Structure 1
Amino acid sequence: MEVRGSVLMSIDEFVKQRHAGQYSDWKDNLSADTQKLLGNVGAQKWYPVNEGVIEPTIQLCKLFYPDAKKGAWESGRYSAEAALKGVFKIFVLVSTPAFMLKRASRVMTTFYSPTNIEVIATTDKSMLLHLTELPINNELIEYRIGGWMEKALEICGCQNLQFDIKNSLSKGDPYTSYEITWD
């Protein structure tokens, strides 16, 4: 149950960029283990998911977002924005939403291990995805992934996105469902 260092780096950068005045407060509220990880992160190395994602996300939500799901979602959006730059942004810009999201499983396995996303249904304006495996069943990770997908779809040109999460691994369901529609 691991997470890639680039995810840790994006959470750290998110707090630095969006909540700069309280960055020290956020960092001071992290455990010694998480602070140590953040002090020496390698983007391509693997780290424990609890210390690498869950704890930092819980702390950023406690400090900045009364709705923890919203905080995790915004953190995921920021991560996509940071990751999909340069050559990757051009790839996303010329891709159809369905093509891009069908690659979501491959993309997520580069960030979270283990992870599995299955495309269940797709049309020109909608998609149903099932997240069937996560390194740990945690609602904040589910929302972080949803935020990442939303921002990636916006970069792809989708407008008026609607996400509905009806099932959740973190609530004991066999999968997390992302029902996505757009214009």
Structure 2
Amino acid sequence: MFWSPHKLARSNLKSIHCMVVLFTDPSNSRSYTSQHWFKNWQKLRQHKLTASTFAAAIGFWHRRRVQLWLEKIGAIEPFSGNLATFWSNIKEEEALERYKLITGNTVLFPEFQVYGGRNPEDDWLACSPDGVVDRLVYDLPSRGVLEIKCPFFNGDMSRLSLGHESLFTVFHKLRV
């Protein structure tokens, strides 16, 4: 079985979400590419439930849910990207550099992570974090997962309420 709400309900992870908002000018973009600047994990993600596919799997977007299941069973080709994902691939590196500059945190780049290490029944869960932060806070070790989102707004940057051309949101999730 690929996805089980019973397995999901057993999860008791709690997170604290810290958000850093960063702005940039889209005219500084590199050329579009479908390949992420350091992640090349599409094949590894093929039969896994990840954060990127979770909302579709539980039905947030009805049509996308059916499409996702067809992808996971191999009936159709998996989603390979669109202008929004190309935009994100271009801008994530810049957002990451700004995050490091603002916070002074060192960011490590993990490999694709499959959850089933301790329990092989859970090997259908996986993640591809944008980074991992490992630092001391008040002399105590603090580890967190970094997730970067670069909203595209269908190319209409005037939709930003703050009036800036581009917005990055960097989430630093600390497991508690």
From the two aligned structures, give the one with the greater helix fraction: 1
Which structure carries more strand by proportion? 2
- Ranked by relative contact order (alpha carbons within 8 Å, sequence separation 6 or more), the top structure is 2
Q: Give the structure-1-normalised TM-score.
A: 0.23
Which entry has the higher C-alpha Rg, 1 or 2?
A: 2
Give the TM-score of the pair, scaled to structure 2: 0.24
